[in-house]
Amino acid sequence: MKKIGVFTSGGDSPGMNACIRAVVRTALHEGLQVAGIYRGYQGFIDGDICEMNHHSVSNIIQQGGTILRSARCSEFRTPEGRQKAYENLAKFGIDGIVAIGGDGTFTGANIFMQEHPDIKFVGCPGTIDNDLLGTDFTIGYDTAINTAMEAIDKIRDTASAHDRLFFIEVMGRDAGFIAMAAGIATGAEAILIPETHTDIEELIQKLEWGWKNKKNSSIVIVAEGEEAGGAQKVAEIVKTRLSRYEIKVSILGHIQRGGRPTCMERVRASRMGVAATQALLAGKSNVMIGIINNQIVYTPFDQCIKQPHQMDAALVEMVELLG
């Protein structure tokens, strides 16, 4: 292997730049050439590829987002689009790829390798949702939950000052890991996530109990993919039953994807970037780099895609106990 490429795909997440930096500098240290592929799989097709050196990744470890940018690419879903991508990789002499992204990124890589097995892919889990099997934490998750926690803490100040009930929506269309961690950390009265059934009646009873016991504020954290329809919908239902409450809704949205990555994020992303590059050199392919119990592990893309990370049932029980 003489030259590898690195790209980011799907939703951006804090720590992606730290991972890019680690890939580039490890590759150069090992005597490899390295190229950056811009705008995800769209860059494969457009040939939006450039050589990278040590200077290319200077002063980026602390930046959120991704210097390689990201984009959706419907053309890559077609055999013709993937063939065009293959021809561009061959033109640039790239025979190994580090893919930083989530399940959609790894699905694309898996299909591409079936058609063009001479190009090797190793993945790094870049998603704030923490929903990939094969790692304790994904790149971006730690920063996202800290961002959510800080925002919720500030909202709690206002809620307490005005005796209000706040429904706060966090990201998590298919997984409730952000909601669960941020909700526990901020002492939320309830946490509604896609993995569990939302019992509106039980929620109302819990909030009424708090009202009767002189609670001067209540916070309910809602993952965007929660079955009842998100924070706005749940708040509307509760309002019809608890009219005495002054109810407010805050949707944190894309603020959770941005910002400077935390210290642990930078360290974790750097470890994964180094491990991914070394894995390609060792002949590994079609695997995602993860860290479990502080050890580097390799999980086949097939498993990452088909078996999402499961919510810890003990955390769900703990919410009921502490709420």
Residue 279 has pLDDT above 70, yes or no: yes
pLDDT at 83: 97
- Quick check: 135 and 291 in contact, CB under 8 A? yes
Q: Which one is predicted more confidently, 84 or 320?
A: 84
Alpha carbons 305 and 236: distance in angstroms, whole number: 35
Residue-wise pLDDT for 147-175, tens only, equals 999 999 999 988 777 777 899 999 998 89
Q: CA dist 32 to 114, 208, 209, 309, Å? A: 25, 63, 64, 34
The contacts of residue 36 (CB under 8 Å, 6+ apart) are 5, 6, 7, 20, 24, 49, 50, 52, 56, 67, 68
Q: What is the rounded average pLDDT of the residues 200-222?
A: 81
**Count of residues making up the chain:** 323
- pLDDT tens profile 39-87: 999 999 999 999 999 999 999 999 999 999 998 899 999 999 999 999 9
Q: What angle do CA 47, 50, 56 make, to 5 degrees?
A: 150
- CB under 8 Å to 312, separation ≥6 — which residues? none
Instruction: With a cut of 80, say whether residue 181 has pLDDT above it.
Output: yes
pLDDT at 318 over 80: yes
Burial class (CB in 10 A: 0-12, 13-18, 19+), 111: middle
Q: What is the DSSP letter of 120?
A: E
| CA atoms of 78 and 211, how far apart (whole Å) | 56
pLDDT bin (cut points 50, 70, 90) of residue 214 is low
Q: Is the pLDDT of residue 244 over 80?
A: no
Q: Taking residues 85-94, report their average pLDDT.
A: 97
* All structural domains of the chain: 3-140+261-306 (3.40.50.450), 141-258 (3.40.50.460)
Mean pLDDT is lowest, of 38-47, 75-84, 201-210, 258-267, for 201-210
What is the pLDDT of the chain when averaged over all its residues? Answer: 92
Q: What are the phi and psi torsion angles at 126 (to 5°)?
A: -110, 95
Model pLDDT, residue 243: 75
Q: What is the mean pLDDT of residues 23-28?
A: 98
pLDDT at 159 (0 to 100)? 79
Report the range of poorest mean pLDDT among 70-84, 108-122, 204-218.
204-218
Contact 227, 194 (CB under 8 A): yes
**Are 287 and 124 spatial neighbours (Cβ–Cβ below 8 Å)?**
no
Catalytic position from the list 12, 48, 103, 129: 129
The mean per-residue pLDDT over the stretch 291-295 comes to 97
* 97 φ/ψ sector (left φ>0, alpha ψ -120 to 50, else beta): beta
- How high is the pLDDT of residue 206? 85
- Tell me what pLDDT residue 312 has: 86
Could you give the percent of the chain with pLDDT greater than 70?
Answer: 98
Query: Which residues on neighbouring strands pair with residue 167, listed in sequence order?
Result: 220, 249
Active site annotation includes 153: no
Q: What is the pLDDT of residue 211?
A: 72
Q: What is the mean pLDDT of residues 178-188?
A: 95
Of residues 304, 288, 321, 253, the one with CA closest to residue 124: 288
